[in-house]
Amino acid sequence: MRFLDRLTRRPWIIAVGLTVVVTLWLASGFLGGEPPRKTAAGGPATAAASTARVQTRVQQAEPVTRTISVYGRTAPARTVEIKAETSGRVTALGIARGEPATAGQPLVKLDLRDRAARLEQARASVSEHQSAWEGQQELKPQGYISDTQLAETRAKLEGARAELIRAELDLEYMNVRAPFDGTVQERAVEVGDYVRAGDPVATFVDNTKLIVTGSIAEQDAGFVSVGGIATAVLVTGQEARGRIRYLAPVAEESTRTFTVELEIPNPGGKLPAGVTAEMRIPGGEVLAYRVAPSLLTLDANGDLGIKTVDAANQVAFHKVEIAQSEANGVWVTGLPDTANIILVGQGYVSAGQPVQAVPAQPETALAAGRGPAKATGTGQ
């Protein structure tokens, strides 16, 4: 059913498919077949006379790189909640919400007047104890200062120096700075607010790179490797190539899917975060057929497939999977290496039904997703 989900995201495919089906139906005169005829006695025609005719084309599988589609959402590479490292009253806001900032640029400024006074006091204390320490060292050789007194003075000097370092840091903390290049997403304070150490002041994001996170099916996880190249197609229509940065080592127990993350560059922040995106991951080379979406049908079990005509001139239903989507068709796997695909009339015949297969006209084959038929015969 992933194909149906993909079609709903591409309504143009549905429109084109319906147009092709209706046009070919009208042009073929009831799908290239004949309506049931009656005998001279008014009874139904013989089985041979009522056998449905379908238009077919013999195709051969071609190698194509399978594309694995994983839907997810974009998010900034980093999101941090910046908190005050000291207490004080907000005096200025350096960066407005939504504006970019460089690493180290002030985002919020606190009142630093009392911190400046504390710093000067700490410097004076260091100077005082430094002078006392130096004076005692000069008196020590004369025996006027004991080792205990000298040790006490040295301890006071080291304590004053530690207090000076704390005062310098406290003064530096009065400017709450950007931790890296990024953007202010949210601001939690305004001028005049009083904050304490640990209070949040802003939410800061690094959107120079985006991370697309999704869940990949267990049968596809083997095709994905960390460092591999993939493409992200955003719901906005924008595209970007990046590398797989993470693949979960263990599947989610409830969904049997693996979390996968794709990192894409976002210079200038042109790609939006928080939107739906499709990851297109190369899944290895397979043999596939390119067909028009209108040729795809569902059987009684709801399986997606394509109808062909076999060697006994009977309809066969083949369950298929979408390997890759293109603007002019889809590549499918699940058919034999050579298949006589029904191009016109597939909606009116069922598996096991005898049919009369006639070669499709070149324009019909072209509309069904392929060019003129190769010299491979008219079918089996």
Set out the domains of the chain in order of their start, with CATH numbers. 2-66+286-367 (2.40.420.20), 69-77+204-284 (2.40.30.170), 81-202 (2.40.50.100)
Cβ-based burial of 219 (10 A; exposed 0-12, middle 13-18, buried ≥19): exposed
Q: Where does 142-222 show beta strands of DSSP type E?
A: 175-177, 182-187, 194-195, 200-217
Q: Kindly give the parts of the chain with pLDDT less than 70.
A: 1-50, 115-117, 119, 170-171, 363-380
Q: Which residues contact 175 (CB under 8 A, 6 or more apart)?
A: 106, 108, 109, 110
Which residues are CB-neighbours of 22 under 8 A, at least 6 positions away?
A: none
Q: Cα–Cα distance between 288 and 320 in angstroms, integer?
A: 10
Cβ-count burial of 288 within 10 angstroms (0-12 exposed, 13-18 middle, 19+ buried)? buried
DSSP string, 213-234: EEEEETTTGGG--TT-EEEEEE
Which pTM does this prediction carry?
Answer: 0.58
Count other Cβ atoms within 10 Å, centred on residue 365. 22
Distance CA 148, CA 160 (A): 19
In the chain, helix, strand, coil percent, each to 5?
25, 40, 35
Classify strands 276-291 and 297-298 as parallel, antiparallel or unpaired. Answer: unpaired
At residue 376, the pLDDT reads 32
CB of 45 closer than 8 Å to CB of 36: yes
Question: From CA 302, how far away is CA 325, in angstroms rounded?
Answer: 21
Nearest to 336 by CA among 152, 60, 107: 60
Q: What is the pLDDT of residue 126?
A: 76
Contact, 106 vs 94, CB < 8 A?
yes
Residue 219 carries which side chain, given as an amino acid letter? Answer: Q
- Integer Cα distance of 161 and 148 in angstroms: 20
Segment (H or E) for 50: helix 47-50
pLDDT at 150: 77
The answer to whether residues 259 and 246 touch, using CB atoms and an 8 Å cutoff, is yes
Q: So what's the pLDDT on residue 227?
A: 94
3-state secondary structure of 167: helix
Running DSSP on this structure, what letter comes out for residue 269? G
pLDDT at residue 369, rounded to an integer:
57
